[in-house]
Structure 1
């Protein structure tokens, strides 16, 4: 089990492991960088096949949060946590409370929030054991309605804004003229599908969770394909909204879409694949830029702000992406490298 020699270690400040034999919790917290402020990042619960898979995932996610916060102009660093287990069958209040105690043991270095497999109600259980939990005292949504603390609606809206910016830049078409393939229709992917459906786009969807597929198919008239085929369908836009590394040497040559813009973290298995996408003429929206609205939401809930201010901040995602696309074109360099350098200039 490699940590320091893991290719994703990338100068992490702190990586902590915890096993609570009473509750059964097995978890990892990774703090990548705290130069701009305490690290904030969601807790993911997933049935990883082995420990190395969990370690690599948390390291990649944590690093991504540092870049995400920097590009969103937020006074915070990047961290992440993972719980090893199936969120549909293994989750319990005891595990959530034990996770809260684990977060508390880091003394504020890491602020936990919801993520894939973890609901806001789970973070409330964690908060019984830690004061370092984000997104629990939400006052408003970007639309102005009361909030239950779930940042997924903001993440989906920000992804929609970013997707539209990418389409405007690369295709110069209205969304009603397009077909969008959405890989994963969970909390964020479903809401993104709703935005796109209301804008008139045709949808192709895939997910491993049957009820989520059925819901999106019924409500949006979406075409359903296998999760292992979604990347290769005939579509104008591919929107990865599930787990990371779906753009990899196995899938990349089958991608027909001319725009990749989705909410998933760490979409590229390796940074070098950004060059491959660039050479293929595919406009890639760097994941940590387009999916930053969740932490933007959490930030605005913690300071003196308003729904209008938060919405304006989220909509800057489109402007930031357009700047990245423009620089990429001018410099003839892949968008992920351009974005990385802009972020690193802020936190290094």
Structure 2
């Protein structure tokens, strides 16, 4: 990851935006509240750009820019492949989510979101909860994932986890001939909101669950609830396993991890899991590891958000839509096998095809 970021730092901001084909990048700063944030709008062909806001402590500001550009691009593909009428966008707030939050920091951020006039709709991501969204919503209507008491869908994490679970079961069906996860050794890397809900689902199937996280309190909470084995973060890739579920930050599928991983399936909730999309998707295929494309199987959260955006929120409809991830994943594997391509490329083609079809339709007007 460090080498990739250094290469990006050699490029200007405009060069980086052009490389990923972004429409707009907004830098947000408010001295009074300490807000430092970046909003990236990648593509609005299918509709307004939508994607969550992440709050994270970045080593350098250049790392935050690199992250938001990749995340927003991924949202374009995620929304497209999920069949949503939304484009791709994302935001990052630079800071420690455990120490630097305040009501007025999020109100200030909400003003920046509102200044875009609906081109970007925000929601939760890493480090953000429904209370934070409530503060953002005081300044803009272009926000989703609002608390249920405000008529919103609440925390989208359970739906995200359910989509990952559907993708994991479809992957198990492909590899083992049976979708059951009973007895499968599954390493969940990241015990945050989505990771913990995923563990709930895996526990119901009597999977052998291993969890790792940098925060001890998260591990203790899950261990008190389920029979799990806690492993050190630096031991994740060497743990004997059937399924690797990355549910923290991206780029964990790289040259180093692929040399150490013993799994047959990679199926997790993290965004941008492949450090290099082409290189590491190909390496997964060469090693016989079935990679479930992240922007396909982790789309449950944005699906949940979408049904809040377009109508009075309906959880049942959001769950039904998310359940379709199983069938889409299954068909995707069939396509990748038939065309002798990696699964990431197959998913990317599906997303780009829908975007191009919309562009062609717009040319008729």
Instruction: Note the residue ranges of structure 2 that are not aligned, 5 or more in a row.
Output: 1-8, 357-365
Instruction: Note the residue ranges of structure 1 that are not aligned, 5 or more in a row.
Output: 141-145
Q: TM-score, normalised by structure 2?
A: 0.90
In 2, are the aligned partners of 1:8 and 1:60 still within 8 Å (CA)? no
User: 228, 231, 252: which is aligned to 2:234?
Assistant: 228
Do structure 1's residue 64 and structure 2's residue 74 form an aligned pair?
Answer: yes
Give the SS at the match of 2:209. Answer: strand
User: 68, 88, 92: which is aligned to 1:78?
Assistant: 88
- Offset, 1:106: 1.2
Worse-superposed segment, 60-69 or 222-231: 222-231
Residue 294 of structure 1 is matched in structure 2 by 301
User: 91, 95, 98: which is aligned to 2:105?
Assistant: 95
| 1:167-195 residue CA offsets vs partner (Å, 9 max, x unmatched) | 11112242112110000010000000010
Residue 117 of structure 1 is matched in structure 2 by 127
Do structure 1's residue 279 and structure 2's residue 293 form an aligned pair?
Answer: no
- For the aligned residue pairs, the C-alpha RMSD in angstroms reads 1.7
- Offset, 1:329: 1.3
Aligned runs of 1:95-244 on 2, under 5 Å?
A: 95-136=105-146, 138=148, 149-173=154-178, 174-244=180-250
Residue 313 of structure 1 is matched in structure 2 by 321
Provide the aligned length of Structure 1 versus Structure 2: 343
Do structure 1's residue 245 and structure 2's residue 251 form an aligned pair?
Answer: yes
| 1:141-178 residue CA offsets vs partner (Å, 9 max, x unmatched) | xxxxx976111111111111111111111122421121
In 2, are the aligned partners of 1:181 and 1:203 still within 8 Å (CA)? yes
1:138 and 1:291 mapped to 2: Cα distance? Answer: 22
In 2, are the aligned partners of 1:139 and 1:301 still within 8 Å (CA)? no
Identify, as 1 or 2, the structure richer in helix.
Answer: 2
In 2, are the aligned partners of 1:8 and 1:59 still within 8 Å (CA)? no
Runs of 4+ displaced beyond 4 Å: 137-140
Q: TM-score, normalised by structure 1?
A: 0.95
| 1:72-96 residue CA offsets vs partner (Å, 9 max, x unmatched) | 0000001000000000011111111
In 2, are the aligned partners of 1:3 and 1:9 still within 8 Å (CA)? no
Worse-superposed segment, 294-303 or 48-57: 294-303
- Offset, 1:128: 1.1
1:277 and 1:234 mapped to 2: Cα distance? Answer: 17
1:208 and 1:316 mapped to 2: Cα distance? Answer: 33
